[in-house]
Amino acid sequence: MSVPQTPHVFGASTTAAEVIDGVDLHGRRAVVTGAGSGIGVETARALAAAGADVTLAVRDTDAGARVAARLEAELPPESGQLTVGRLDLADRSTVAAFVAAWRGPLHILVGNAGVMAPPELTRTPDGRETQFAVNHLGHFALAVGLHPALAASDGARIVSVSSIGHLFSPVVFDDLDYRFRPYDPWTSYGQSKTANALFAVGAAERWADDGITANALMPGNVGETSLARHMNPHQVADFIASGELALPPQKTVRQGAATSVLLAASPTVEGTTGRYFEDCAQAEPVAERAGAVAGVAPYALDRENAARLWALSEALVR
């Protein structure tokens, strides 16, 4: 499928506010998962500032309410409304409850929540490895459940927050839950982030006739988030020193939200679907992980991989 390239108006230092400047989202509704901190907060801020009514989908609704109150105090009066909904992506019952409570069309779904590199193997109540379950399966179930609302909105956009960490591993279909291989926090994180990208490919393929576009992205190297809350403070530093991890220059949280906001709302990517972005532009393919600080692995955009993951995910969330 031929898609338009993003004009080079934005880049690595662009902020979410700069991306949304001049965009009118009044009358549109958005859901942002993980909007209780970091990039999720700034994504919600930008969309609401442009007039969208935004639901902050969070595990801790008290914390979400505090964030909503702070944003309401900071946003201009013509901004969209902010509401808070409970969503624990590790608990399928809360995903089902969130979907059941939704009424009316949904124009923007941003799958931003995530967990990164817990040092020990943990599983969700239904037996799935936690990173794959939270980062991919929970978002998959949410998007599939909200599909009728997305299809009803005439031009909905799905934004799937992936990571350069997808270069650590493809989806290992024969051992998603580390029942046969030793658990490794980074390959586990990697396959979950690859799954985020493949989900966008699969949704683009299946839901194009509903007017829905879906894209994945790398937000950047953003230190001001709670993503690494499960990690030992020295873990990332040791990993970088070992040569196993290369990172691009660090971004602020408002710069980190820019690519999510671009894909959620900017007219410059109208009609673009099934792609992987970074620094507000489509990423270039990379052939190997060594030394890479940008780019997308071919396996993360492979249609056969996406179709296999979709079928497997449907079976796992039934």
Cβ count near 122 (within 10 Å): 14
Residue 158 has phi, psi (to 5 degrees) of -110, 135
> Maximum distance among all alpha carbons in the chain?
55
Q: Are 296 and 286 in contact (CB under 8 A)?
A: yes
Contact of 148 with 205, CB cutoff 8 Å:
no
- Residue 238 has a pLDDT of 61
Tokens for 55? 């639901």
Instruction: Tell me the backbone φ, ψ of residue 310, rounded to 5 degrees.
Output: -60, -50
189 is catalytic: yes
Give the span between the Cα atoms of 229 and 37, in whole angstroms. 12
State how far Cα 191 lies from the chain centre.
Answer: 14
User: What does the pLDDT profile of the chain (318 residues) look like in tens digits?
Assistant: 334 444 448 999 999 999 999 999 999 999 999 999 999 999 999 999 999 999 999 999 999 999 999 999 999 999 999 999 999 999 999 999 999 999 999 999 999 999 999 999 999 999 999 999 999 999 999 999 999 999 999 899 999 999 999 999 999 999 999 999 999 999 999 999 999 999 999 999 999 999 999 999 999 998 755 555 555 556 555 655 555 566 788 999 999 999 999 999 999 999 999 999 999 999 999 999 888 989 999 999 999 999 999 999 999 999
pLDDT of residue 223: 75
**pTM for the model:** 0.93
Q: Please say whether the beta carbons of 193 and 163 come within 8 A.
A: yes
Is 75 exposed, middle or buried (CB count within 10 Å of its CB: 0-12, 13-18, 19+)? middle
Residues in CB range of 241: below 8 A, 6 or more apart: none
38-49 helix and 61-74 helix, angle to the nearest 10 degrees: 40
Q: What is the DSSP letter of 298?
A: G
Q: Are 47 and 257 in contact (CB under 8 A)?
A: no
> Counting beta carbons within 10 angstroms of the beta carbon of residue 133, is it exposed (0 to 12), middle (13 to 18) or buried (19 or more)?
buried
Which of the residues 178, 183, 189, 276 is marked catalytic? 189
Contacts of 176 (CB under 8 A, 6+ apart): 128, 129, 132, 191, 312
- The pLDDT of residue 6: 45
**Amino acid 4: pLDDT:** 45
DSSP label of 123? B
Q: Name the nearest CA neighbour of 224 among 245, 251, 247.
A: 251
Helix (H, G, I), strand (E, B) or coil at 159: strand
Q: In the chain, how many H helices and how many E strands?
A: 12, 10
Q: Collapsing DSSP states into helix, strand and coil, what is residue 3? A: coil
Look up tokens 């709670």; give the residue. Answer: 226
